[in-house]
């Protein structure tokens, strides 16, 4: 006995404490299964544990911190680093890792991912504040409404379908690996949630949480759906096309992002144009990872003038903060597409403005995406492309 607690817990507190210990144990087992020396990041701040949607999760609260302290005092984990927050830009998460003694209590040998089941997070929709100066946005508490219940039910139905789907990752027998976002890549991670932005249901709404979202683009060819290689079916140039729909103007011919007319600097024009659709006011600096796509010496002002001249019909929408509204339309369309395909028995993994499907289902997905765009916007102008792996 550690002597940390003298009086009995209430049943609800005891159950929450057990949930915290179980969550920590499972995550440490999975982290060990990656074969890396990575440590587990754990939240400690009151801003996270007692505010926003974390309050609805039985894992989090004072009992979560108590569980970490107790496991450390018993020598089962090591606190590799205590996190801190000096400012929005100067902060680090707390890290813990398993000790050799933990292996006496938990099966730290790498498990077969097929033996692992992920339960749905109790919070299926998240409403976030606007981003701070470091680019982070905190979740906020919201009052449940008929609309929020509808959003949650949509995600719940999709999660139920994906849970039973035949999805594999090749070259992944029993070992697990970490993805680009630090999350574990394993086909059991199929529980999605929907994230809205800027404190309003009218902004954002993208789906998040699926393992396929963590895989580097070049590695997605390892995914198999019902034993087949996959196809990526996506809306091309979606945001500017939605902006043209919003303006009521005719869609331009050809590639919207080919501002120069000769195909040069396309990636730069794409980043710049989308940044201007998201910007609330004139751009003062080049968007991140954009300047290098243009010829040396190109001034931002010159590029913006060229873009406005090429797309004069929607230039009044640049700097109007429209981007998150367009993202909400995008996310609604992806919810409708994946729901329709699920009802038709087609497994579709949503990925922002695209879906990943078995190769044999690519045409079905493309037709569905065309139909949803036309139904939602009243315009037949969607361009849907398919990439096969």
Model-level pTM?
A: 0.82
The predicted pLDDT at position 182 comes to 72
pLDDT for 88? 56
Closest CA to 99 of 39, 159, 168: 39
Using a CB cutoff of 8 Å and minimum separation of 24, what contacts does 101-108 make?
Answer: 101/74, 101/75, 101/76, 102/28, 102/76, 102/77, 105/76, 106/25, 106/28, 106/29, 107/29, 108/28, 108/29, 108/32
Question: Residue-wise pLDDT tens for the chain (389 aa)?
Answer: 444 555 556 788 888 899 899 889 888 888 877 777 888 989 887 767 765 555 567 888 889 999 999 999 999 999 888 887 666 566 788 999 988 888 888 877 766 666 677 777 778 999 999 987 767 788 888 999 999 999 999 999 999 999 999 999 887 555 567 777 777 787 888 999 999 999 999 999 999 999 999 898 888 999 999 999 999 999 999 999 999 999 999 999 899 999 999 999 999 999 999 999 999 999 999 999 999 999 999 999 999 999 999 999 999 999 999 999 999 999 999 999 999 999 999 999 999 999 999 999 999 999 999 999 999 999 888 899 999 98
b/e sequence 90-115, b meaning 16+ C-beta within 10 Å:
eeebbbbbbbeebeeeeebebbebee
What does the DSSP assignment read for 191-247? --EEEE-TTSTTSEEEEE--GGGTS-GGGGGGEEETTB-EEEEEETTHHHHHHHHHH
Q: What does the alpha-carbon distance between residue 12 and residue 18 come to, in Å, rounded to a whole number?
A: 10
Tokens of 27: 């995550």
């Amino acid at each position: 006995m550690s002597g940390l607690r003298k009086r009995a817990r209430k049943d609800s507190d005891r159950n929450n404490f057990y949930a915290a210990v179980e969550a920590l144990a499972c995550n440490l087992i999975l982290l060990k299964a990656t074969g890396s020396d990575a440590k587990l990041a754990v939240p400690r701040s009151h801003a996270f544990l007692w505010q926003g949607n974390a309050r609805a999760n039985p894992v989090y609260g004072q009992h979560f911190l108590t569980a970490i302290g107790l496991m450390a005092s018993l020598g089962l984990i090591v606190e590799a680093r205590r996190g801190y927050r000096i400012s929005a830009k100067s902060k680090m998460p707390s890290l813990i890792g398993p000790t050799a003694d933990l292996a006496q209590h938990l099966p730290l040998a790498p498990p077969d991912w097929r033996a692992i089941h992920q339960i749905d997070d109790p919070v299926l929709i998240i409403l976030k504040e606007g981003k701070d100066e470091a680019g982070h946005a905190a979740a906020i508490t919201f009052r449940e409404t008929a609309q929020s219940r509808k959003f949650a039910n949509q995600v719940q139905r999709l999660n139920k379908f994906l849970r039973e789907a035949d999805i594999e990752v090749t070259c992944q027998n029993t070992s697990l690996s970490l993805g680009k976002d630090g999350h574990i890549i394993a086909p059991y991670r199929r529980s999605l949630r929907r994230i809205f932005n800027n404190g309003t249901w009218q902004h954002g709404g993208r789906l998040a949480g699926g393992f396929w979202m963590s895989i580097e683009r070049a590695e997605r060819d390892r995914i198999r759906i019902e034993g087949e290689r996959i196809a990526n079916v996506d809306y091309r140039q979606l945001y500017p096309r939605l902006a043209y729909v919003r303006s009521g103007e005719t869609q331009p011919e050809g590639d919207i992002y080919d501002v120069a007319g000769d195909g040069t600097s396309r990636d730069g024009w794409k980043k710049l144009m989308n940044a201007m659709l998201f910007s609330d006011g004139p751009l003062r600096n080049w968007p991140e990872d954009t300047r290098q796509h243009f010829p040396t010496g190109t001034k931002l002002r010159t590029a913006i003038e060229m873009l406005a001249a090429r797309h004069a019909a929607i230039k009044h929408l640049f700097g109007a903060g429209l981007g998150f509204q367009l993202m909400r339309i995008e996310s609604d369309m992806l919810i409708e597409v994946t729901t329709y395909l699920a009802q038709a028995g087609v497994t579709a993994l949503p990925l922002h403005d695209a879906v990943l499907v078995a190769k044999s289902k690519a045409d079905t997905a493309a037709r569905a995406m065309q139909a949803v765009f036309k139904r939602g916007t009243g315009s037949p102008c969607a361009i849907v492309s398919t990439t096969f792996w």
